[in-house]
Amino acid sequence: MNAPIVSVRNLSHRYSVQWAIKDINFELASNGIYGLLGANGAGKSTIMNIICGVVKQTDGEVIIRGINLADQPVNAKKHIGFLPQQAPLQKDLTVEEYLVHCARMRLMPEHTIKAAVTEVMEKTTITHFRKRLISNLSGGYQQRVGIAQAIIHKPDFVVLDEPTNGLDPNQILEVRALIKEIAQEHTVILSTHILQEVQALCDHIWMINEGNMIFSGTLEEFDNYIVPNKLVVALVAHPAAEELLSVPGVEAVEELGGARYRVRFSDAQETIERLVQTSVQKNWRLIEIGLEKNSIETVFTELSKKKSK
Ligand SMILES: Nc1ncnc2c1ncn2[C@@H]1O[C@H](COP(=O)(O)OP(=O)(O)OP(=O)(O)O)[C@@H](O)[C@H]1O
């Protein structure tokens, strides 16, 4: 494993008396899109604000490229790009004026700024709007400007807090495509409560519930978190449900129409073998058999019942 880009160790935070997050730990070592998933109020923004140096944690540490964020915030922040939930746009500036301003705030050398602004406008496809006031752009384009300010200084990792919130369906797809492009060159941490967003974008998922990390794994591991206990079978001969129920291992049968059935079982291997054998013996003409995965919503609900990892 390469040296981590970000290490978060034993991170806890309390607003007045109530703990918002408790003992969060993770490391990022490679490019890709990491999804921070959780219901409203789970603690996502608190984690993002802390790793971007906007909020100071109560306990624990954030190490960025080997630099402790609390000890050397200016150096550490050079490696971070941040698009908070409310994009920090100055809407009375043009796109170009605003990005120049952001580059200066990032302490980029003056002679590098013009080229960096040109490059980032191209990357986020906003060059044709460079002279337009940000207030006159659509929500989707304002979000592109927000992403442009987050990557103008070429940070190692980019933190996007609910980046598609409030956008229409077309704008959502466009911004997601842009995030995928950005992830080719940067490590992206994305916070969201939209499960389809995680499915569409993320390589790795952390799930937070009531301030605790309750899951960390790949999208595939998330999908398979609950072991399937149902099969979908299609039998052209369309036998009665009672006949299927008599096959050893079958616990329940639901007719789905079109000669398809949902079959609940306790042992997948045994039930599949018995169903195939019986189908051949009784000439049911089996044309489809496969495990039915649980929906991402079911996995989310099931995981939400857990207290911590
Ligand atoms: N400034 C604050 N003062 C007091 N409590 C806060 C503050 N900010 C957040 N909280 C509380 O901390 C908890 C975590 O909030 P946080 O905003 O991090 O969650 P979230 O997962 O980002 O939610 P959302 O998706 O709604 O933004 C919540 O209970 C919230 O009410």
pLDDT above 90 for 2:
no
Q: Give the C-alpha separation, 108 to 101, whole Å.
A: 10
CATH number for the region 230-293 comes to 3.30.70
Mean pLDDT, rounded, of the chain: 91
Q: Is the pLDDT of residue 171 over 90?
A: no
Q: Which atom, in ligand 1's list, is nearest to the CA of 162?
A: 25
Percent of the chain with pLDDT over 90: 69
Q: What separation in Å is there between the alpha carbon of 161 and the centre of ligand 1?
A: 13
Going from the Cα of 20 to the center of ligand 1, the distance in angstroms, rounded, reads 7
Spacing, Cα 165 to ligand 1 middle (Å): 16
Token pair of 113, please? 């700024």
Q: Is residue 84 lining ligand 1, measured as CB closer than 6 Å? A: no
- Nearest atom in ligand 1 to the alpha carbon of residue 211 is 14
Q: What is the DSSP string of the chain?
A: -PPPSEEEEEEEEEETTEEEEEEEEEEE-SSEEEEEE--TTSSHHHHHHHHTTSS--SEEEEEETTEETTT-HHHHHTTEEEE-SS----TTSBHHHHHHHHHHHTT--HHHHHHHHHHHHHHTT-GGGTTSBGGGS-HHHHHHHHHHHHHTT--SEEEEESTTTT--HHHHHHHHHHHHHHTTTSEEEEEES-HHHHHHH-SEEEEEETTEEEEEEEHHHHHTSSPP-EEEEEETT---HHHHHTSTTEEEEEEEETTEEEEEES-HHHHHHHHHHHHHHHT--EEEEEEPPPPHHHHHHHHHT----
pLDDT over threshold 60, residue 1: no
Per-domain residue ranges of the chain: 6-223, 230-293
Round to whole Å and give the CA distance between 139 and 166.
8
Global ipTM: 0.96
23-65 pLDDT, tens digit per residue, is 999 998 778 899 999 888 889 999 999 999 999 999 999 999 9
pLDDT digits (tens, 9 = 90+) for 253-278: 999 988 999 999 988 888 999 999 99
Q: What is the pLDDT of residues 200-254, one digit of tens each?
A: 899 999 999 999 999 999 988 888 777 788 999 999 999 999 999 999 999 999 9
Q: Which pLDDT score is estimated for 307? A: 61
Q: Which residue has the tokens 């911004």?
A: 175
Gap from CA of 203 to ligand 1 centroid (Å) = 25
88 CA → ligand 1 middle, Å: 19
Q: Is the pLDDT of residue 184 over 80?
A: yes
pLDDT at 306 over 80: no
Distance from the alpha carbon of residue 64 to the mean position of ligand 1, in angstroms: 24
* Token pair for 88: 């920090």
Report the pLDDT value the prediction gives residue 308, as an integer from 0 to 100: 52
| 45 in contact with ligand 1, CB cutoff 6 A | yes
Q: Is 230 in the pocket of ligand 1 (CB under 6 A)?
A: no
Instruction: Tell me, using a 6 A CB cutoff, whether residue 209 lines ligand 1.
Output: no
Nearest CA to ligand 1 atom 14: 43
pLDDT band at 158; cut points 50, 70, 90: very high
Q: What homologous superfamily does CATH list for 6-223?
A: P-loop containing nucleotide triphosphate hydrolases (3.40.50.300)
